[in-house]
Amino acid sequence: MPATSRAQVPAAERAYVLTKSLILSGQLPGGTLISEGEIAERTELSRTPVREAFLRLQAEDLLRLFPKRGAVVVPVAPGEAEDVLELREALEGAAVRRIARREEPLDDVVPVLAGLVDAQREPARTGDVVTFAEADTAFHRGIVAASGNALAERIYDTLADRQRRMVVQAVRPRPNLLDVLVEEHTALLDRIAARDADGFAETLRAHLDATHRTMTGR
């Protein structure tokens, strides 16, 4: 980040963005103990803005603070992961049912979603798990956005951080899964293009089962 840009970003925001990025990317896995001093050193900041950032991340359930000891990265609990998956199935399934009912052609939906699938191919090829997780989240969010239900879109956005973290956690130990996920996303897109809401729901369930539920044994 250029010096002029860094100066314009509040110190606490810089500490927050860096720490959150380390958590969501899996560089700080669940259960990791971190200190204010460690983040202060990375960001070249004092501990005061780092403390503010830690408090903010604790409010988001990403950190648990322990006075005079530091903070522990909160793992994604199996029960919470299942909650996220169930919400995703409900929101994405409802979105595709609404899309399928449209009388007009899906010319403003399918090409956009196809572009979001294409954006996954390069990180899948290079094994860039973090970038792939962002592209994965963008595709699934794009499905909900395409339905035109603004309320559902806002609710879905609250899952974004957990969704990205879960993708990184699922894919990092299984890098060969990246190409498989691109093909599964293509299959989901085909169901949308065919206005096959029931088929989409079945394909999405299988997709989430294979990617996430196999990791937790659910």
CATH of the domain at 46: 1.10.10.10
> What does the mean pLDDT of the chain come to?
92
- Looking at residue 79, its pLDDT comes to 87
Please give the Cα distance from 216 to 218 (Å, whole number): 5
The residue among 9 and 140 whose pLDDT is bigger is: 140
Buried b (16+ CB within 10 A) or exposed e, 83-104: ebbebbeebbbbbbebbbeeee
- Looking at residue 205, its pLDDT comes to 97
Nearest to 115 by CA among 212, 203, 185: 185
Judgement on whether residues 101 and 66 belong to the same structural domain of the protein: no
Q: Which residues contact 167 (CB under 8 A, 6 or more apart)?
A: 129, 132, 133, 136, 137, 211
- Looking at residue 189, its pLDDT comes to 98
Judgement on whether residues 56 and 82 belong to the same structural domain of the protein: no
Judgement on whether residues 107 and 189 belong to the same structural domain of the protein: yes
Highest mean pLDDT among 1-10, 48-57, 68-77: 48-57
What CATH number did the domain enclosing 158 receive? 1.20.120.530
Average pLDDT of the segment spanning 25-34: 93
Judgement on whether residues 136 and 188 belong to the same structural domain of the protein: yes
Instruction: Assess whether pLDDT exceeds 70 at residue 33.
Output: yes
A 10 A CB-CB count for 153 gives 17
- Looking at residue 218, its pLDDT comes to 43
Judgement on whether residues 111 and 192 belong to the same structural domain of the protein: yes
- Looking at residue 213, its pLDDT comes to 79
- Looking at residue 77, its pLDDT comes to 83
Q: Of 11, 40, 73, which residue constitutes the final position of a domain?
A: 73
Judgement on whether residues 69 and 82 belong to the same structural domain of the protein: no
Judgement on whether residues 92 and 194 belong to the same structural domain of the protein: yes
Instruction: Assess whether pLDDT exceeds 90 at residue 40.
Output: yes
Judgement on whether residues 106 and 57 belong to the same structural domain of the protein: no
- Looking at residue 217, its pLDDT comes to 44
Read off the tokens for 180: 């498989």
Instruction: Assess whether pLDDT exceeds 70 at residue 215.
Output: no
Q: Is the pTM of this model over 0.75?
A: yes
Per the structure, the count of domains in the chain is 2
Report the Cα–Cα distance between both ends of the chain, in Å, rounded. Answer: 42
Instruction: Assess whether pLDDT exceeds 70 at residue 7.
Output: no
Judgement on whether residues 62 and 113 belong to the same structural domain of the protein: no
Judgement on whether residues 91 and 145 belong to the same structural domain of the protein: yes
- pLDDT band at residue 8 using 50, 70 and 90 as cut-offs: confident
pLDDT, tens digit, 9 for 90 and up, residues 104-140: 999 999 999 999 999 999 999 999 999 999 999 999 9
Q: Which residue range is the domain that position 57 belongs to?
A: 3-73
A 10 A CB-CB count for 2 gives 7
- Looking at residue 1, its pLDDT comes to 46
pLDDT, tens digit, 9 for 90 and up, residues 141-197: 999 999 999 999 999 999 999 999 999 999 999 989 999 999 999 999 999 999 999
Judgement on whether residues 43 and 111 belong to the same structural domain of the protein: no
Average pLDDT of the segment spanning 99-104: 96
Judgement on whether residues 105 and 211 belong to the same structural domain of the protein: yes
> Tokens 């299984």 appear where?
174
- Looking at residue 4, its pLDDT comes to 45
Q: Of 73, 97, 122, which residue constitutes the final position of a domain?
A: 73
Q: Of 53, 73, 93, which residue constitutes the final position of a domain?
A: 73
